[in-house]
Amino acid sequence: MYFLLSNLSLIDMCLSSFASPKMIMDFFAQHKTISFEGCISQIFLLHLFTGTEIVLLISMSFDRYIAICKPLHYSTIMSQQVCVGLVVTSWTVGFLHTMSQLAFTLYLPFCGPNVVDSFFCDLPLVIQLACIDIYVLGIFMISTSGVIALISFLLLLTSYIIVLVTIRDHSSTRSSKALSTCTAHFIVVLMFFGPCIFIYVWPFTNFLVDKILSVFYTIFTPFLNPLIYTLRNEEVKTAVKKKLTNQFFSFGKTTPRYPVQ
């Protein structure tokens, strides 16, 4: 589990920083511009990290399913080799996904408007600038991004329902810990997939909410994920409470006292 979590943290760090430097610079720039190569690079990194995270979240749900539903076989099934294989598969699928998105974008003719109404370049907005009919491209994008995200979310939802049903048959202490872990996982899944599904299933909208959601799942969600996992972990909360309690009671003892001259 912790190996998968460390890789999720790496992806979140990359996802939250691929467009942040350019976005911060644009806040202080009067004329906000980006080159075609820079725009394509943002699309490549965006779909690489999001595609990888989707597969990794599915792998983590499988890990939790084995840990809760088949605890005696966990160490055998989720061996180090299996975890490494899941991570490698996640990055491979993410790379293939982003290459499929760029395969047709690079050769689109752009001869008209060149303004992307967003904080960074994303595929639904960029293809609207093409000088050809993009209906077929829109269908392809929905099938490769929106539908895949929707199906992945439904699979994750089903797995967590099975896990929650299994938790009811366990002891109260174990159920509480497992429920806390699954709740943290599901919150992360919901925060990540919600905006993705909304943007890519209905990709041709120009509402302000699209811009907000795009920033939400690429910047705020990756920043919040470590906090969510930390605060939902009972061991971490116990350690923090113990540390704060010790500091509170030792504050008076550590106050320096100087002799009166």
Q: What's the CA dihedral at 127, 130, 135, 139 to 10 degrees?
A: -20
Query: Would you say residue 253 lies in a domain?
Result: no
- Would you say the C-alpha torsion 10, 182, 217, 237 has a positive or negative sign? negative
Model-level pTM greater than 0.85?
A: no
Number of domains, the chain: 1
Tens-binned pLDDT, residue by residue, of the chain (261 aa): 678 888 888 888 888 787 777 777 777 777 777 777 888 888 888 889 988 988 998 888 888 888 877 878 888 888 889 889 999 999 999 999 888 888 877 877 877 777 776 777 777 777 777 887 777 777 777 777 777 888 888 888 888 888 777 777 665 555 666 676 677 777 778 878 877 777 777 655 555 666 777 777 777 777 777 777 666 666 666 777 777 777 766 655 555 555 544
Query: Would you say residue 41 lies in a domain?
Result: yes
Residue 175: give the domain boundaries.
2-248
Burial class (CB in 10 A: 0-12, 13-18, 19+), 157: middle
Could you give phi then psi for residue 94, rounded to 5 degrees?
Answer: -60, -40
Q: Cβ–Cβ contacts within 10 Å for residue 142, how many?
A: 18
pLDDT tens-digit map of 18-76? 777 777 777 777 777 777 788 888 888 888 998 898 899 888 888 888 887 787 888 88
The pLDDT score that the predictor gives to residue 91 is 94
What's the CATH code of the domain at 22?
1.20.1070.10
Query: Would you say residue 101 lies in a domain?
Result: yes
Query: Would you say residue 13 lies in a domain?
Result: yes
